[in-house]
Structures are given as C-alpha cells and as structure tokens.
Structure 1
C-alpha cells in the first residue's frame, strides 16, 4: 500500500564545482536548539533588523550579524546602520558546526583541495529570517577578505535556492530545494558565485520548530582583524 511507503532519502549533491548540498544534515534536536539560539541573538541591542540598501530599497528578510556586523556593503564592529550597539560575539557552537560542515562536505581527503578549507577559522555569522513572501535577489558574498568557503544552514520552511555563475546574474544557474536541516557549502570555484532565494514554500516547516518562515544561518571567515 502506498500509505506504508517511507519517503526516499535525499542524497548528497554537488550542483557546481566547490558547492556541496547535504540534505538533512541537522537533526530535529539541533534545529530546535538553533531556533532558540536565534531568538536570543535577535534580541536588542544589536538585534535583528530590516536592511535598507544604498539604492533606497528595503530587503524583505530581517537580519542579525554575529562576530562582525554586515551592512551593505561591508563589515563593522558596531551596528552602524541601526542602533549603533557593539555586535554580538561569534558563538563557538557555530564555529564547531561550520568546521564539521566543511569536513563532511569535502571529506578529510578533499579539504586541502578547496581554498581556505583546511585552515578554516570562521568568525562571522549572518542570520536571515524569511517571513512568508520574502526572497533575496542574486548577489555575491564578497565583503570578506579571504576566499574560505561559506557554510549555509537552512531551518524552517523550504525554499527554492538559485546558485548561479561567477560572472553575471543571468544563466547558467542551478535551482535547488533547500529544506529544514539542509547544509549547503560553497567554496572553491563556486565561492563567489551569484546566489539567492527565489521564493520560500510557506507551511513546509515542522510545527515542532515553533517557527514561522525560514531561518538561514551563513557562517563565514572574514579575514578581518
């Protein structure tokens, strides 16, 4: 009977050179712990905020930074485009997760083949909350001064994620469905690829998370001192 069938496990994928998608990398308990941590990080001072771009546009996601404060288009030690408070420290738990993510994505024998992976020392996290209807246009993560990989964790609603090329915002690109618990790492040739979120899929999150929308935690190494 079809009702007795279990869903097929999703498999590891490499959508571009240097990019690795590991489905269901975070278990349910880890996801709940990160949701609770994000709530703490989102509180003021230096809490979650809406970002206004230099063009005057307003991003549909809300963001909080840890370790270094990201703003368009740079980093600072204080929330220069908000309440001016010192940025919250980078949590060791995210550093541990990110280093394990690289080891799992590139496997021990492949770490040395990806720029910045073997000596990875993350010191920034950018947490984005996507309410229903939020999206993010194609962009590059290029404010960092090193080319170490970016670690991206998805929690809550699934989304359609677009991984493009390094030259333009136009094709070729690859669309991925990222679900709660998924890990995406992009380094090497894909490190400075354009990428974004085309749309979220409301109502796809596990109700036990107690989360409306989608959380995305990206962990990075800044190269800043």
Structure 2
C-alpha cells in the first residue's frame, strides 16, 4: 500500500513471485526499482534452496486522473505495466520487466550515496545449484542493461558484495567492491576480494590460512569513520 499526495493506492503484483522493492519517489509519481525479485518462497528459502532471484524493474505512477485499463507506465524502453483495475479507483495491477531474463542475481547492493534516488549500478552475487554455472559476482548497469561478471573457481562460493566509494569519487561507480570468497574444500583458502567497481576487475585479495574456515555472512556494512 502506497500513500502520497492524498492518494491511498493498493498495489497488486501480478505473478507468482515476491518482489523486494527499492523505492524511489519522484514528484507526482511512484517509481519502485526492484533490485531483486524473489521466486517461490521467502528470502532464505530462495537463497539456500531455489537460488532464482533475478533483477527486475517495477514502475508505478499514481494519478488522480487514471483511467481503467490504461497503462500508466510511459517510460520508454520497458515492458513494465501499472494498470488501474476496472471498477476501482485505487488498485493498481502491476507487472515487472525482467531486465536480464532469468539470470540469477542475489544479495543486491548499490552505492548508498544514491539510496532513495535514481541510480545506475547495482552489484550482486550469483549463487546457483546449476552444475553448468560457476558462482560469480555481477555488476549491473540498469541504464544500458549491461552486465559485468567476475567468476570464481568451483572450489569457492561468493558472498555479498559491498560497494565502498573512493574518497574523492566523481562518478557513481568510483570506488571498490569488497566481497568474501569462501572455500568449500579443506585444502583451499578463503579470501577477501577487492574489485575495481568501475571496470569490475580484480585489484587485490587477502587470503586466510587454509585451515581457517569462514561462515557465509551477509548484510554487512562498511563504516568510513569511527564513532
């Protein structure tokens, strides 16, 4: 349910999936940019078993003058829809636009200096049970609909990427992406990976002893000052 400018709007997602929204409010409209769409269950079920979150885009525009059956999404280059349900004045039926098909995209993060406003880049993990796919990290350009990949060996599992802006950053992706890469064998070492966020290429990594095993963690943060 969304409330804005005196409007009280119910939003109904048409489909079997559970959307996780990153909301951006613009004057006179709602824009909800979905950084991932979780399928067939709650987050942990998807993360540990289904592994099928994907990058998608929901767009909704609430208008006092909306007409029944009219698609309120007018943004070019998207197939997302938001339609006022017949016989109602405040129920929108929405469909999303999957930006990269069924490509998996878990644990999404952005440059949080752009949180709550329009952003271009998102970073996420590919956690898959598909034996034909390697675990990998991804950078998504939602403006140009392009993907950049960093693949790890099948002996390791990727964690959650965290973006850290450069001290004198000029662009949204000026900085580095940190991610724990965990060994799933007894002979290999886990390590902290450092990627250049702009080119999405490896800068460095810091390894742990092979006999020191690390657990999978997520939703960590980077703090750039001491409180």
Which TM-score applies when normalising by structure 2? 0.25
Going by fraction, where is strand more abundant, 1 or 2? 2
* Bigger Rg, which one: 2
Greater relative CO (CA pairs within 8 A, separation 6+) = 1
Which is richer in helix? 1
